[in-house]
Amino acid sequence: MLKSVIILVGIANCALENKTKLNYEDYDDERSASRYLMDYPICTSVEECADVNGCSGKIFTETEGSIQVSDYSSRFNCRWEVRAPAGQQISIIVDEGSFFGIEHSSVCGADGLKIHGQEEDELVGFGRICSSGKSTTTPYNGMSAHKTKGGVKIQSKLFREWLELDTDHLVVGFDSDQDTEGAGFLLRWRFEESATTTTVVTSTGYPPEPGTTILADFENDLEDVFTEMIHSDRHELANRHLERLLNRFQSGLSRCPNGDQTEREIIGPDPAVFDPVNIDGIEQEWNRVNSELLEGCELAYMVNNGMDYSSTSWPRRIRRFMDRIRRHMGLEELGQTSLESISIHFSS
């Protein structure tokens, strides 16, 4: 389900910290490899990847310009930086159209355009862009709220407009996975003398944009958590189980007698439960979101019998799933990393 960059188990820690460029020639046997979501560009500097496999990496200081990759191949890595004078900020736009196309995944973990700001020795996140699940020519942001500067996810549609970022040092990375090709992207930038918009777009109502549901956004956040916290040979198992649970609940909402309730506007999950990760808080928010969505579904048998969300099987299902996550983390701490043991926990 969740796709991300392939790396060898033996160099997992180093690669996760993005301290080395990945040599994809070593990863042809997927059965012996593990998949990770790379939060930062694989190229740790512009110089590291420039002129390798067609990478046009460069440091820009011009007041406006563009970065473009066309018809990219698999296993392609590149990095660019845009540096504005102190006191100015940088606005960007990722153009949509037939020339845009980056393999889709819910967190843009397979192929991705990674957009960060450089703050001293730290990269802060703004977006991880790939194609929307509904249209390959439409940019979609797969970076979750707790990975985004300010703790609020930037809506995908804002990247398709001029978006002013809170940085004077923009870092743009592009990394593609194995066995895939795409149309590429065109990102344009310009310097701003003073802030005219804000990076942090406060949005508590859902859906945040057409075609996005609160459950899809919640899945995005949880996949990010599992990919980061659960060992590589098990996080995909957890994510597949999560996907089945969310799809089943969403399928029921789509068949409500009074119409599809999957895009009902409610308060979104509290970003605080994801950073730092609070398993109990995540469970509470999950149940709250489900409960408020179900309130909009006029099911006769529930209304006639005075039933509410707590009377359904969903709190119990969520508790079972989250208890498996808790037990898994306990196994991790004890060093019990048997895939067979974890498979038992996540078996239906």
Sole residue written with tokens 């994510």: 239
Task: Answer yes or no: do 63 and 164 share one domain.
Answer: yes
Q: Is residue 111 part of a domain?
A: yes
Of 192, 222, 240, which residue constitutes the final position of a domain? 192
Task: Answer yes or no: do 291 and 164 share one domain.
Answer: no
Mean pLDDT by 10 residues, the chain (348 residues): 29 34 32 52 96 95 97 94 96 96 85 95 94 90 85 88 96 88 94 64 46 70 75 73 88 90 80 83 93 89 84 94 82 38 39
**Residue 110 burial by Cβ neighbours in a 10 Å radius (0-12, 13-18, 19+):** buried
Cα torsion angle, 185, 82, 46, 120, sign: negative
Q: Is 291 helix (H, G, I), strand (E, B) or coil?
A: helix
Task: Answer yes or no: do 178 and 226 share one domain.
Answer: no
Task: Answer yes or no: do 188 and 223 share one domain.
Answer: no
Task: Answer yes or no: do 300 and 176 share one domain.
Answer: no
Q: Is residue 285 part of a domain?
A: yes
What is the tally of structural domains in the chain?
A: 2
Task: Name the pairing type of β-strands 59-60 and 77-83.
Answer: parallel
Task: Answer yes or no: do 258 and 184 share one domain.
Answer: no
Task: Answer yes or no: do 106 and 179 share one domain.
Answer: yes
Task: Answer yes or no: do 144 and 244 share one domain.
Answer: no
Of 192, 227, 245, which residue constitutes the final position of a domain? 192
- The whole-number pLDDT of residue 27 equals 30
CATH number of the domain encompassing residue 91 = 2.60.120.290
Q: Is residue 26 part of a domain?
A: no
pTM exceeds cut of 0.85: no
Give the residue numbers spanning the domain of 82. Answer: 38-192
Task: Answer yes or no: do 273 and 323 share one domain.
Answer: yes
- The whole-number pLDDT of residue 272 equals 83
Task: Answer yes or no: do 183 and 242 share one domain.
Answer: no
- The whole-number pLDDT of residue 330 equals 64
Output the six-digit token pair for 265: 């506007």
Q: Is residue 198 part of a domain?
A: no
Task: Answer yes or no: do 306 and 171 share one domain.
Answer: no
Task: Answer yes or no: do 136 and 234 share one domain.
Answer: no
